[in-house]
């Protein structure tokens, strides 16, 4: 492994270059570059982990300090946003900082069950109370991180990163297929099959002795990682905007504002705090139960013992790199890329799915050049697995690009146009919304991944009293 100082300099040079590129690309509205850089920065997480592992025995402590410093970093960003909003507002100048103390207060208030303003809260489909929702989110997140770090230590960075990514993507795809949020066609079947082959090649490319006790513990940790990470991804998208937040977004819809960025960062503050709470609760339960001499009991003991040296742990520069540079800064870039998204591009979440493959690709680089794991693999088989993973990215781009596009024409009751336009402007599947003359009043250009989802959307439109008539036309591309 590279010596500590040289590695520190190299890491920060790479990070600074990536941040500068992301800021330039988002300013020029090449937002998908920001998503790519986010994936790369998250893929670099094993880098500080390797150096922290040299000084910290407890995996739980590494996960804890990451969540702890992430909370601090997010709160600092939110605080600065609120202060700058107040500063520019008093001077009557337009500011990029649109998130105010009132926004923060209303967002926090709506998370607690004491809030009786049911009319401003849009219920999520699962009807889970906010606090329970964020506690579950934080629990799934922290346990996915903990078991991921365990699999890093036992199975290695390269093996863990590839298998976790492939397994998670296949499970999420099957989940979406089961809920009819996506559909199976030849392209999707092809890239899922290629993913599976890449995973098999990765497994047989390493001399992993499945029968050994260490390998069994590592594979169990990796399976828990996949399980908790999949659960986290599934429920993380269930939170909706409140009506107050929708109105705030409409008030500066065409401006490059940080309202949505800070709103999302406030949300992740809750699940990071929930992560810390969940970790302490589990540690407390384990210490009470007669499990002190078990593997998990020993790990909890190490975790609690290292709290005596917590100030010393915080003085380690790699601790701050893990919590700030490898976690919070990527989140800020991630949500910034979502802001002011180009209407003629693929949707933000589609690019996230396509470019997610860069995270394990970066982790493979870290495993080779920082963790010195190259000697553990048959490089021919591993290279073939990496090539196949890159191929799935190309196939997925082609698949997403050819999602179902349609033009919907709406005839609207008098004086209902503005109300309906405000409702529809929040729908992420509507790429363009225009007022037109003639028989119809409003034109929608939509983008759905399946005919089933388009049909459901049209059925929802028919239920609105303000709409008198609907026509739908599938958009064809003759340039292929």
> How would you write the pLDDT of the chain (480 residues) with one tens digit per residue?
677 889 999 999 999 999 999 999 988 888 899 999 999 999 999 999 999 999 898 999 999 999 999 999 999 988 888 888 787 776 655 556 677 888 888 878 776 654 444 333 344 445 667 778 888 888 999 999 999 999 999 899 999 999 999 999 999 888 878 876 667 778 888 889 999 999 999 998 887 655 567 788 888 999 999 999 999 888 876 666 666 666 666 566 555 567 778 888 888 888 899 999 988 888 888 777 766 667 777 888 888 888 888 889 999 999 999 999 999 999 999 988 887 777 666 778 888 888 999 999 999 999 999 988 888 888 899 999 999 999 999 888 887 776 777 888 888 887 777 777 777 776 767 877 888 877 888 888 887 766 767 888 888 888 888 888 888 877 655 444
pLDDT for the residue 397 = 85
- Here the CATH number for the domain that contains residue 432 is 3.30.70.920
User: Which one of 351, 374, 401 terminates a domain?
Assistant: 401
Burial bucket for residue 63 (CB in 10 Å: 0-12, 13-18, 19+): buried
User: Which one of 368, 401, 434 terminates a domain?
Assistant: 401
Residue 356 in any domain: the answer is yes
Residue 318 in any domain: the answer is yes
Give percent helix, percent strand, percent coil of the chain, each to the nearest 5: 70, 5, 25
Same domain assignment for residues 397 and 411: no
CA dihedral in degrees (164, 167, 171, 174; nearest 10)?
A: 150
Q: What is the domain count for the chain?
A: 2
Same domain assignment for residues 394 and 411: no
Residue 479 in any domain: the answer is no
Q: List, in sequence order, every beta strand (DSSP E) within 32-88.
A: none
Domain extent, residue 368, equals 4-401
User: CB–CB of 337/348 below 8 Å?
Assistant: yes
Same domain assignment for residues 370 and 414: no
Same domain assignment for residues 106 and 179: yes
Cα–Cα dist 62/45, whole Å: 11
Residue 455 in any domain: the answer is yes
Same domain assignment for residues 264 and 366: yes
Residue 366 in any domain: the answer is yes
Same domain assignment for residues 291 and 180: yes
Same domain assignment for residues 408 and 396: no
User: Which one of 356, 377, 401 terminates a domain?
Assistant: 401
Same domain assignment for residues 156 and 206: yes
pLDDT for the residue 240 = 62
Residue 361 in any domain: the answer is yes
Residue 467 in any domain: the answer is yes
Same domain assignment for residues 458 and 354: no
Same domain assignment for residues 138 and 169: yes
pTM of the model: 0.82
pLDDT for the residue 478 = 42
The residue written with tokens 């005596």 in the block is 308
Same domain assignment for residues 94 and 176: yes
pLDDT for the residue 119 = 37
The arrangement of strands across the sheet holding 404-412 comes to 430-435, 442-448, 404-412, 467-474
User: CB–CB of 432/445 below 8 Å?
Assistant: yes
User: CB–CB of 248/263 below 8 Å?
Assistant: no
Residue 115 in any domain: the answer is yes
What six digits make up the tokens of 179? 């809920």
Taking the mean position of all CA atoms in its chain, how far away is CA 189? 24
Cα–Cα dist 241/247, whole Å: 10
Same domain assignment for residues 102 and 58: yes
User: CB–CB of 99/78 below 8 Å?
Assistant: yes
């Amino acid at each position: 492994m590279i010596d500590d100082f040289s590695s520190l300099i190299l890491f920060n040079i790479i990070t600074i270059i990536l941040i500068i590129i992301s800021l330039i690309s988002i300013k020029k509205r090449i937002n998908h570059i920001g998503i790519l850089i986010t994936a790369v920065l998250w893929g670099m997480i094993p880098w500080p982990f390797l150096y922290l592992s040299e000084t910290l025995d407890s995996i739980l402590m590494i996960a804890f300090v990451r969540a702890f410093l992430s909370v601090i970093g997010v709160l600092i960003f939110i605080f600065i946003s609120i202060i700058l909003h107040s500063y520019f507002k008093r001077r009557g100048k337009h500011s990029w900082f649109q998130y105010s103390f009132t926004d923060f207060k209303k967002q926090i208030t709506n998370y607690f069950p004491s809030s009786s303003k049911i009319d401003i809260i849009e219920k999520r489909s699962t009807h889970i109370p906010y606090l329970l929702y964020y506690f579950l989110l934080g629990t799934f997140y922290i346990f996915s991180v903990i078991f991921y770090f365990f699999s890093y230590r036992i199975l290695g960075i390269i093996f863990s990163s590839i298998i976790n990514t492939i397994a998670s993507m296949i499970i999420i795809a099957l989940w979406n297929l089961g809920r009819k949020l996506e559909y199976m066609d030849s392209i999707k079947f092809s890239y899922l099959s290629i993913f599976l082959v890449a995973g098999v090649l990765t497994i047989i490319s390493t001399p992993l002795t499945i029968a050994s006790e260490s390998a069994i513990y590592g594979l169990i940790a990796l399976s828990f990682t996949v399980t908790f990470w999949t659960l986290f991804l599934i429920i993380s998208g269930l939170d909706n905007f409140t009506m107050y937040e929708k109105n705030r977004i409409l008030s500066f819809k065409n401006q490059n504002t940080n309202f949505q960025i800070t709103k999302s960062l406030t949300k992740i503050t809750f699940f990071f705090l929930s992560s810390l709470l969940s970790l302490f609760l589990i540690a407390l339960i384990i210490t009470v139960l007669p499990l002190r001499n078990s593997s998990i009991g020993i790990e909890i003991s190490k975790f609690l013992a290292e709290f005596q040296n917590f100030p010393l742990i915080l003085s380690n520069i790699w601790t701050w790199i893990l919590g700030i540079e490898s976690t919070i800064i990527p989140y800020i870039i991630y949500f910034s890329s979502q802001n002011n998204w180009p209407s003629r591009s693929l949707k933000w979440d589609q690019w996230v799915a396509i470019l997610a493959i860069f995270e394990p690709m970066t982790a493979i680089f870290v495993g080779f050049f920082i963790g010195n794991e190259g000697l553990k693999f048959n490089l021919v088989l591993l290279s073939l697995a990496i090539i196949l993973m890159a191929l799935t990215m190309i196939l997925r781009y082609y698949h997403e690009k050819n999602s179902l596009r349609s033009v919907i024409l709406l005839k609207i009751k008098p004086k209902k146009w503005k109300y309906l336009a405000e409702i529809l402007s929040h729908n992420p599947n509507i790429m363009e919304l225009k007022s037109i003359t003639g028989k119809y009043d409003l034109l929608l250009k939509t983008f759905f991944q399946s005919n089933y989802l388009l049909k459901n959307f049209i059925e929802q439109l028919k239920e609105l009293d303000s709409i008198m008539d609907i026509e739908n036309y599938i958009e064809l591309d003759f340039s292929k």
